Amino acid sequence: MHIETIEVKETEQRVLIVMDKEYESNKKNLLDSYLESNTLSPKREYLEERNGKDYLVYYFGHCYIEDHLENIGKIAEK
């Protein structure tokens, strides 16, 4: 799992949380539990293929999720 930040405009960013669909089910469960306990949900959730692998992507507005990025980063590091 990793976090990507996309700059849409100078003052507008998006955050993608990208998870390997095949190997990161435990991290997904931890992330889902964290999001649920903090009443957060992705604006969009979709599958994306990168380099022949399937990834699950959670899409958030930066302002919505920014206060939680440190904790989500800790989940990604586990």
pLDDT at 13 over 80: yes
pLDDT at 30 over 90: yes
pLDDT at 21 over 80: yes
pLDDT in tens, 66-76: 999 999 999 99
pLDDT at 12 over 80: yes
Within its chain, how far is the Cα of 51 from the centroid? 19
For 39: left if phi > 0, alpha if psi spans -120 to 50, otherwise beta; the answer is left
Q: Beta partners for 8?
A: none
| pTM as predicted | 0.90
Looking at residue 55, its amino acid is Y
Tell me the domain boundaries of the chain.
2-77
